[in-house]
Structure 1
C-alpha cells in the first residue's frame, strides 16, 4: 500500500497544461458619448455628507421610507429568488472547478470465515468431537482517475460558469435596485395622494360652507334654487373624488406591501404629513455608467460566458484522455496488511475520440458563435437603452423643474381669483356658476402643484436607477 501515494502522484504528473480553444475575450465596443444631450457638461457631483454610498433613498429625509426600502433587500421575494439563483451559480463554479483535479476514492473490507472438522460424516449432532477452524482476511484499496484538461474544455467551462455567476450577481443587484426604486416611486405617489386628500378634505369643508351660505341666500330670496343645486353638485362631485383618492391610495399601499414581502391584507401605512423633498441627484459621466449599471454588467458577463462556450464546443474535436491508478493490499493479519508482499498496484490510460458525427460538432461550434453574436447585440442594445434612460430622465428632470415655478404661480393666482369671486357672489354681483368655475380652477392648480412635485421626486428616483443607484 505504500505505493498508493506514488501512484496518485504519478497520475497528477502525467497531466499536461491544457490549451484553450476559446477566442481571446475582449469587451465588445459600444457607442460612446462625451456628455448628455439633455444636460451638456453633466459632471460627477459630490453626494450629501449624511448619505452613505448606495443609500440614495436617504436623500428624501423620510424615516418611514428608509425603513421600507431597507426591508426590500431582505424580504422582497423577487430579490430572494435572485439571491438564491446567485448562490446556485456560485456553487456551480465550485462544482466545475473540481473537475480540473483527480477523483480519488478508497475502500476497505474485512471477512471472517470458518469450517467444522471432526465427527462421523461431518454430523455435528452425533455427539462426536467437533473442531471449528476460523480465519480472517483484510483488504484495502485506493484508486484515482483523472481526465487532464488538454484542450481547455473544463477550463472554459469554469470560465463560463464564473461569468454566469457574475451575471447572476449583477441580476441580483439589478433586482434589488429595481424593487427599491419601485417601492420609493409607489411611496412618493402615495404621499402625494395623502397631500391631495388633505387638500380635498379642506376643499370639501369649503364646499359645505358654500352650500350652507347658498341655502341661506335662497331662503332669504336673494338667489334662485339653481344656485343651491349647483353648490350641491359641486360638493357631491368633490366627495366622489375623495373616495376615488382612497382607492388610488389603497393600490399604492398594496403594491408597497408586496414589495417588502408582506401580505397586503394585513399591511397598513398610516397617513403622514407630506414632505415635498426633491433631492439634487449626484451625476455621473457616461463611461462611469457603463461600469456601474447592473443590467450592463450582466449583459457583458453573458458575452464572456458565450465566448467561453465556443472553446467548450471546439474542444469536442479532440480526444479525451483518462488516466487511472489503483493500489490494493490484502492479508490475513492487520499487522502485515501494508507490507510489500501483500500489495498490488496498477496504472492505465485510455483515450476516446468521436470519429464521425455527420457534422454535429461543427454545428455546435457554429451555434456557439451565433449565440456569442446574439449576446454582443444584447450587450450593445443594453448600453444604448441605458443612455436612452438617462437622456429621458434628464429631460424630464429639467422640464418638471421649470414647470414647478409656473405651477406655483398658477396656484397662487387661482387662489386669489377664487377669493375674489366668492366675495363677489356674497355681494350679489356674480352668479354661483362663476364661483364654482373659480373653485375648480383653484383646486386643479393646487393638485397640479402637488403632482409636479411628485413627478420631480419620481424622476429623481428614475434617474438614480438609470445611473446604477449609487455614486
Structure 2
C-alpha cells in the first residue's frame, strides 16, 4: 500500500492501541492456592530423631558426612559431580527454562528485516500483452521491515509463560528429587557393602575356628577316641562356611560395581578396600514437625508446582473464548535498480489489524477448558497422594530405626550367649565329655547369631539413610528457583550474562 494515512485511520489505530493497553492486564485464569491438608501434630513412630522447628534447615546438603566415613564422603561428592543420570536431569531443567523463554517471547512485538532481489523476463507472446513496446526484462529490488504484535488482552500468553515457569520449577524440584534419590541409593549400597565386609570378616574368623575344630576331630579320630562321623561333620561345617563366604564376596563385587556407576566411575578400575561397620556412626536425625515435611520434600514441591502449571493452563483454555487481535506493520522500498532504491517515491508501507472471535466450533473450546480443569484436578489428587506417601515413608523409617535399635541390642545378647555355648561345647568335646553333634549345633548357632548381629547393624544404618531421604535430606523449598529465576535470559540483551544458564544443585 502506498500513500498517506487518512486522519480517520489514525484515530482508529490510536483507539485500538488504547483499548489494547487497557485490557492488557486481564487474566482469566482462576486464582491459585495449594490445597490444605490436615496434618498431625507429631510423628507416631519412634527412632533416633530430634524435634526441630519448621523454619530450621534440618540437615545440610552433605548429610552423609554425619556417618563419619571419608570414603562415603568422596563417593557422594563424585556422584554429584559425575553421575550421568544426574547430569542428564540437570539438562532437563535447562531445557525447561528455555521453554519459559520461548513462551515469554510472545509478549514482545516481533520485528524482522527482509530484502529480496530478482531479474525477471516475460514472454513476448504472453496472453493479453498490453504493449509490444514495453520492456520484456526488468529487475526488482526491495528491502524493508515487518512488525507484528499480538496484544495479550486475556492473559493467554502470560498464562502460557506462567505454565512454563511453574513447569520449570517442577523440573528443578524433580532434579533435586533425583539427586536425593541417587545419594540415598549410593549410601544404602555403601552400607550394604560394608555389612558384607563385616560378614566376610566373621566368616574368616569362623573358618579359623572351624579349622581348629577339624584338627581336633582328626586327632581324636587318629587316637581312636572319636568316630569318623565327627570328622565328616567338622569337614561339612568348614566347607559350608567357605561356600557361604564365597557367596558374600560375590555379592560384594556386584555392589561395588553398582557403587562405581553411581559415582560416575568405571567398574573395571574402581576398587573399595574392605572395611567393617564399626567406624560408622549412627547419627541423630532431626525430623522436625510433620508440617515442615511439605517444605522439605522435593517431590512434594514438584507436585505442587505441577498443580500451579495446570492452573495456568486453565487460563490459556479460557482465553480462547475471547477475541484474538493481531497488529502488523510493514515498511520498505522497492525499485528496479540500486540507484533510486532508497528514495521517498519508491517507499511503501502498510499497517493493519485483524480480529478473530470464535462463534461456533462444535464444542471445541468448552472441551479444551473442561480437559484443562480435569488435568488440574488430577494434579491435585497426585499432590495429595505424594504427601500421604511422604508421611508413610517417614513413619516407616522411624519405626525401622527404633525397632532395629532394640533388635540390635537383643541380638548382641544372643551372640554373647551363643559364643559361650560354642566355646564350652568344644571344650567338653575335647575333654571327651560330650559328642561332636552338640559342637556342630553350637557352632551353627554362634555363626548365625554373629551374622544376624552384623546384618541388623547394616540394616540400622540403611534405615537411618532411608529416614534422611524420607525427610528430604538437606533440601528446602527455599532452594527452589523463583518464577523470575526460571527466565533464562533478558530478551533485550545481545549476549547471555554470566550465570544465565543455571543448573539446580
8 A contact 1:325–1:345 mirrored in 2: yes
Deviation string, structure 1 residues 212-270 (Cα, Å, up to 9, x no partner): 11101110111111111110111111011011111211221122122223343443323
Q: Find the aligned partners of 2:366 and 2:18 in 1 and give their Cα distance.
A: 33
Q: Partner residue of 1:75?
A: 82
Q: Partner residue of 1:62?
A: 69
- CA separation of 1:230/1:111 partners in 2, compared to 1, >3 Å: closer, same or farther? closer
Matched, 1:27 2:34: yes
Deviation string, structure 1 residues 141-165 (Cα, Å, up to 9, x no partner): 1210011111111111111111111
Deviation string, structure 1 residues 177-204 (Cα, Å, up to 9, x no partner): 0011001000100011001101101110
User: TM-score, normalising length from structure 2?
Assistant: 0.81
The Cα of 1:14 is off from its aligned counterpart by 6.9
The Cα of 1:55 is off from its aligned counterpart by 0.5
Q: Find the aligned partners of 2:235 and 2:287 in 1 and give their Cα distance.
A: 52
Q: Partner residue of 2:173?
A: 170
* Consecutive unaligned residues in structure 1, runs of 5 or more: 114-134
The Cα of 1:287 is off from its aligned counterpart by 1.7
8 A contact 2:261–2:267 mirrored in 1: yes
Matched, 1:385 2:389: yes
Q: Partner residue of 1:126?
A: none
8 A contact 1:31–1:384 mirrored in 2: no
Structure 1 window deviating more from structure 2 (175-184 vs 345-354): it is 345-354
Q: Partner residue of 2:96?
A: 89
Q: Partner residue of 2:288?
A: 284
The Cα of 1:305 is off from its aligned counterpart by 0.8
Which secondary structure state, in structure 2, belongs to the residue aligned with residue 327 of structure 1?
A: strand
Q: Partner residue of 2:450?
A: 446
8 A contact 2:401–2:463 mirrored in 1: yes
* Consecutive unaligned residues in structure 2, runs of 5 or more: 5-9, 121-137, 476-505
User: TM-score, normalising length from structure 1?
Assistant: 0.87
8 A contact 1:18–1:148 mirrored in 2: no
Q: Partner residue of 2:217?
A: 214
Q: Partner residue of 2:248?
A: 245
Matched, 1:185 2:185: no
Within the candidate set 113, 117, 122, 1:106 is matched to: 113
Which secondary structure state, in structure 2, belongs to the residue aligned with residue 79 of structure 1?
A: helix
The Cα of 1:398 is off from its aligned counterpart by 0.8
8 A contact 1:12–1:102 mirrored in 2: no
Matched, 1:235 2:238: yes
Deviation string, structure 1 residues 379-426 (Cα, Å, up to 9, x no partner): 001001111111111111111112222122221222122111111111
Q: Find the aligned partners of 2:140 and 2:372 in 1 and give their Cα distance.
A: 56
Within the candidate set 447, 458, 462, 2:462 is matched to: 458
Runs (4 or more) in structure 1 with deviation over 6 Å come to 9-14, 110-113, 135-138, 331-337
Deviation string, structure 1 residues 2-36 (Cα, Å, up to 9, x no partner): x9xxx9x9898774314222110001112311101
Q: Find the aligned partners of 1:375 and 1:42 in 2 and give their Cα distance.
A: 33
8 A contact 1:45–1:283 mirrored in 2: no
8 A contact 2:68–2:280 mirrored in 1: no
Within the candidate set 309, 315, 318, 1:314 is matched to: 318
The Cα of 1:109 is off from its aligned counterpart by 5.5
Q: Find the aligned partners of 1:260 and 1:151 in 2 and give their Cα distance.
A: 50
Within the candidate set 189, 200, 204, 1:201 is matched to: 204
The Cα of 1:285 is off from its aligned counterpart by 1.6
The Cα of 1:282 is off from its aligned counterpart by 2.3
Q: Find the aligned partners of 2:99 and 2:158 in 1 and give their Cα distance.
A: 13
Matched, 1:160 2:163: yes
Q: Find the aligned partners of 1:263 and 1:442 in 2 and give their Cα distance.
A: 39
RMSD: 2.9
Within the candidate set 44, 56, 81, 2:52 is matched to: 44
